[in-house]
Chains A and B, each alone.
Chain A
Amino acid sequence: MIYRENGQFKTSYRADQQIFPIAQDRLFILAAVLFAFVVVPAIASDYTFRALLIPFTIMSLAALGVNILVGYCGQISLGSGAFMAVGAYGAYNFFARVPDMPLIPALVLGGLCATAFGILFGLPSLRVKGLYLAVATLAAQFFADWMFLRIKWFTLNTPSGSVSVSGMQVFGVPIESPMSKYLLCLSVLVVMGIAAKNLVRSAIGREWMAIRDMDVAAAVIGIRPMYAKLSAFAVSSFIIGVAGALWGFVYLGAWEPAAFSADMSFRLLFMVIIGGLGSIMGSFFGAAFIVLLPIALNQFLPVLLGIFGIEISTAGISHAELIIFGGLIVWFLIVEPHGLAKLWSTGKQKLRLWPFPH
């Protein structure tokens, strides 16, 4: 009853083709963005920023990138960690080597490095499909792991191979406090999110989805698989690269190649699948699930068990986290294989009719 689009008439193609054609949707998104930009900084504590919000925004961005590749173009990739690493180290090199390099261009250049890397390691997708491609992309992952450990030029010839970033500022505003870091990540996320949403609604996005659904048929009707697949790799790697640079610069501050290991790739894939393949909203849901769940478990499990009078060690909590995490993923995939985004859209569908049953 609240969520119906009755009475909303479009009088131009432009109006009809908006991202959020329903007014209620527009209001909701606007409210959400305002909440994120204005209300959250006012009420959140330092710890919430540092441990919850910043990783969530950065991971949503990365999940967005992975979703474009895996969800919209259907190329299963397990090399996302490598793309993040390339983005992070690329941005670091530009930031540290070029004197007075501003932050945003450094991030963008890092993303472009990741794009080049992504196109290179996306070439196998032209010949290999499905699970074979997934394992082939692990080659990118392990190669990147090795490259940043061995080639000292990338880490500015430090003896240990660990790099760190400090003294970031955007247009003279220093990015030191958790709130400023959060706002930076959020802005990047919003800008990239809008760009990604528009991209997937455009001709390129439709090409990607055609390749995903039936790549032979797509080739038959004139979509060039090489351009479509490589452009998916390029766009996706760019977004993941920028996310990687943010992860290193803003969240970790100092990192080593192990921060972007195969573990990270699997986490990103989890986010995308739990959140919903082929859905921009899904990336956010998935990232929230994967980022917040371990911390929530860590905080609440002892309390919960304390109610039953069971004491548990930190190792026990860690193991329980793994067990619950694995169990929840399996349960989730059984209950809703299309992810949280599907639940969201089902909810919206129901809301259109509410309070009427049909």
Chain B
Amino acid sequence: MGFFLETVLGGLMAGMLYSLVALGFVLIFKASGVFNFAQGAMVLFAALAMARFTEWFAHWTGIENLFLVGLAAVIASAAVMFVMAWLIERLVLRQLVNQEGATLLMATLGIAYFLDGLGQTIFGSDIYKIDIGMPKEPVMAFESTFPGGILVSKEDLIAAAIAAALVLLLTLFFQKTSTGRALRAVADDHQAAQSIGIPLNRIWVIVWCVAGVVALVAGVIWGSKLGVQFSLATVAMRALPVVILGGLTSVPGAIIGGLIIGVGEKVSEVYLGPYVGGGIEIWFAYVLALLFLLVRPQGLFGEKIIDRV
């Protein structure tokens, strides 16, 4: 029983981490109708920027204080992501207004390849470290109730808390601020939003900037956990089932979907895996999402798909 709880807890934590990446997808899709396949590359780029800037700033200025250098690196990385968001909107999205979904999808895939190559050219292909002071040792809870205690990873808990805070912030942003309302209007109907005077281009830049910051947070947390290297971009593949299970347009859906997928993955791997030889995590997550879709084709919290003939 204790081990089952441990697995579930581990799954919940992993799910929160996936939802961090899924948030980026949801944000961009919600506001501009583009499924941003480049999100993984953006997470990697942001993480690389953070890791290398920390190294370079410490090297150039000689400041040893980790907090100061880290803060400077975060600000620099966020600035880089803003510039990238602006460039993407300017050079790619503006030219592809009104194109079909498949075209935009491919454009983001092209951006993903571009960022992969650019990131590795500027920052290198080695494994880099991000140290934001996360505790690495685990904590054993409830040692009296369960033999051996339940493993709780402090790092994962902190990451989950950050993810939850981010979701809360974003939900408030969308519901309470005027920019958030403008974003929802644009997502609903581009033309109508334009007709009432919402500046489409600026909105898109804002959305991609916010998504860039989300990518930065996800990149820092994942990077601190795994080390920053090229394969970090593949974490986006693990986050896709979360996005479609929760619904492409729902921010809370990203969290709920993340939790479900996380638990589903870990429990299946630990309990079903040994019977079939193991390694079933990845496809199980996708099959799980698929099964949910069969019941609710628009995802748990997504907008209902209305077909007009």
Contacts and interface: CB of A to CB of B under 8 A. Distances in A.
* Bound together: yes
B125 A322 contact: no
Nearest to B38: A326
B299 A334 contact: no
B309 interface: yes
Given A146-B279, A326-B115, A333-B110, A131 B287 contact: no
A214 interface: yes
A326 B121 CA distance: 14
A132 B102 contact: no
B118 interface: yes
A333 B280 CA distance: 36
A330 B92 contact: yes
B248 A131 contact: yes
A327 B240 contact: no
Contacts of B107: 329-330, 333-334
Given A321-B117, A333-B103, A128 B297 contact: yes
A131 B101 contact: yes
A150 B276 contact: yes
Contacts of B290: 124, 128, 136, 139
Contacts of B289: 135-136, 139
Contact of B244 (A135, A323, A328, A337): A135
A304 interface: no
B215 interface: no
A39 interface: no
Interface residues of A, number: 50
A26 to B, nearest CB: 32
| Main SS at interface, chain A | helix
A128 B293 contact: yes
B20 to A, nearest CB: 18
Contacts of B118: 319, 323
B117 A320 contact: yes
Nearest to B305: A129
A170 interface: no
A131 B294 contact: no
Interface string B254-287: 0000000000000000000000111110110011
Contacts of B125: 315
A94 interface: no
B131 interface: no
Most central of B101, B286, B307 by chain A CB within 10 Å: B286
Contacts of A146: 279-280, 282-283
Contacts of B243: 135
13 contacts: A128-B297, A132-B293, A132-B299, A136-B293, A139-B290, A266-B109, A319-B120, A325-B117, A326-B110, A326-B112, A326-B113, A330-B107, A333-B106
Closest 6 CB pairs of A and B: A322-B117, A326-B114, A326-B113, A329-B110, A139-B286, A323-B117
